[in-house]
Amino acid sequence: MSKALSGYRILDFTHVQSGPACTQLLAWFGADVIKVERAGEGDVTRSQLRDIPEADSLYFTMLNGNKRSITLNTKNQKGKAVLEKLIKECDVLVENFAPGALDRMGFSWERIQELNPKMIMASVKGFGPGPYENCKVYENVAQCAGGAASTTGFDDGPPLVTGAQIGDTGTGMHLALGIMAALIQRQTTGRGQRVLAAMQDAVLNLCRVKLRDQQRLDRTGVMKEYPQYPDTPFGEAVPRAGNASGGGQPGSVLKCKGWETDPNAYIYFIAQAPVWEAICKVIGKEEWLADPEYATPATRLPHLKSIFATVEEWTKTKTKFEVMDILNEFDIPCGPILSMKEIAEEQSLRDTGTIVEVDHPVRGKYLTVGNPIKLSDSPTEVTRSPLLGEHNEEVLSQLGYSSADIADLRSEGVIS
Ligand code: CAO
């Protein structure tokens, strides 16, 4: 069966997480992704956080499935010549080097356009043009600079970063969308173009509701759905809202049976207005229904803490899964706090291909997150990550190099 991106060739000059997450997605959609790695060591993540000596780490294997790998010293003249051939043959070059690294290597955007005017050159950088554009950036720096950390955590604690890799993988997903748009535009213009996704911008995009709240705060000085209201005065900037919901429906994390020993025995509970009556009945607080203090979302706002405490007295008597079953019968929105262990063992995620077990010649079987985006006409088959330089011969011979040329390149250390 053909795939959505069959026939597209991606020169994957990415490393660590943000770029590889983007190119892995393109590979799942069927593109031929050729990962170009430094001769000798390869992507630094191959050896980071290793759980099995000498085997590519899970950090690497879970971000580089479905790709081919070649090693190339692109600072050597012969290596540059190979890269030039690749640039001519590929549709998209994706890179996430430190600012200026590609220019220093001799591959400015102008040079790339000379080599291949149809080339789409897609980059992840930490910051867009401005005071920080030359900075090297990792995940948590982006979370801090993009507004996530200042708005995450509890009011009386320090800023917090989240476990979701919104700076790295989040930016990689933004970049993939930019590449898709550029490929579609190329069909009419015949030209390539540059695509830039800055990590600060991507995080801010995901924190859009907090910029919404900043403007509400500027105008009114108060945000009644925040846990600070009505007891704690608001300052000038959006405060950390703990586990309060970011939308118009109040929510909170509540303890469930077993919370004393299980750190994940909690449920997220949303006091959605249309099901208020059902909530009161389920938890046995019918008297709230006749009480004007609890009659509307607005009158309930000053009582949210005590409302959630009362609901929690009920949730504490049930496991998170029992609470889920009972509340869902009444369409009361809620979600169990699932541990990574529970998610890894969840059969339905295996059934949909969102969690996939892959076999690797060195490390054996491992779990990876499969394609979260399902296309009915382009099913994803997740395959293992390549060994370092596994496709040197295959790719170089496709580029027209003979066996003797390849042997020379190897003996000169251009490939490894
Ligand atoms: N052959 C020869 N040299 C190569 C090469 C190859 N195949 N591939 C890379 N290099 C060189 C680069 O040209 C660069 O050389 P110079 O510094 O001499 O120009 C050098 O390797 C190091 O590249 P780098 O600066 O990108 O790598 P780093 O480890 O120092 O920094 C990172 C890593 C992620 C901070 C930086 O790449 C960056 O800021 N990237 C943009 C933002 C980003 O994607 N961050 C998220 C990463 S995921 O957490």
- Please state the three-class secondary structure of the chain as a single string: CCCCCCCCEEEEECCCCHHHHHHHHHHHCCCEEEEEECCCCCCHHHHCCCCCCCCCCHHHHCCCCCCEEEECCCCCHHHHHHHHHHHHHCCEEEECCCCCHHHHCCCCHHHHHHHCCCCEEEEEECCCCCCCCCCCCCHHHHHHHCCCHHHCCCCCCCCCCCCCCCCCHHHHHHHHHHHHHHHHHHHHHCCCCEEEEEHHHHHHHHCHHHHHHHHHHHHHCCCCCCCCCCCCCCCCCCCCCCCCCCCCCCEEEEECCCCCCCCCCEEEEECCHHHHHHHHHHCCCCHHHHCHHHCCHHHHHHHHHHHHHHHHHHHCCCCHHHHHHHHHHCCCCEEECCCHHHHHCCHHHHHCCCEEEEEECCCEEEEEECCCCCCCCCCCCCCCCCCCCCCHHHHHHHCCCCHHHHHHHHHCCCCC
56-91 pLDDT tens trace = 999 999 999 999 999 999 999 999 999 999 999 999
Give the Å distance between the CA of 15 and the centre of ligand 1: 8
Query: Is residue 249 very low, low, confident or very high in pLDDT (cuts 50, 70, 90)?
Result: confident
User: What does the pLDDT read at residue 161?
Assistant: 98
- Check pLDDT > 90 for residue 10: yes
Looking at the CA of residue 102, tell me the nearest atom of ligand 1: 13
Q: Is the CB of 137 under 6 A from ligand 1?
A: yes
Q: Is the CB of 38 under 6 A from ligand 1?
A: yes
pTM of the model: 0.96
Looking at the CA of residue 72, tell me the nearest atom of ligand 1: 7
Q: What is the mean pLDDT of the chain?
A: 96
Q: Is the CB of 168 under 6 A from ligand 1?
A: yes
User: What does the pLDDT read at residue 181?
Assistant: 98
Q: Is the CB of 70 under 6 A from ligand 1?
A: no
Give the Å distance between the CA of 145 and the centre of ligand 1: 20
Query: Is residue 330 very low, low, confident or very high in pLDDT (cuts 50, 70, 90)?
Result: very high
Residue 18 annotated as lining a ligand binding site: yes
User: What does the pLDDT read at residue 247?
Assistant: 73
Query: Is residue 193 very low, low, confident or very high in pLDDT (cuts 50, 70, 90)?
Result: very high
Q: Is the CB of 126 under 6 A from ligand 1?
A: yes
- Positions annotated as catalytic residues are 168
Give the Å distance between the CA of 370 and the centre of ligand 1: 26
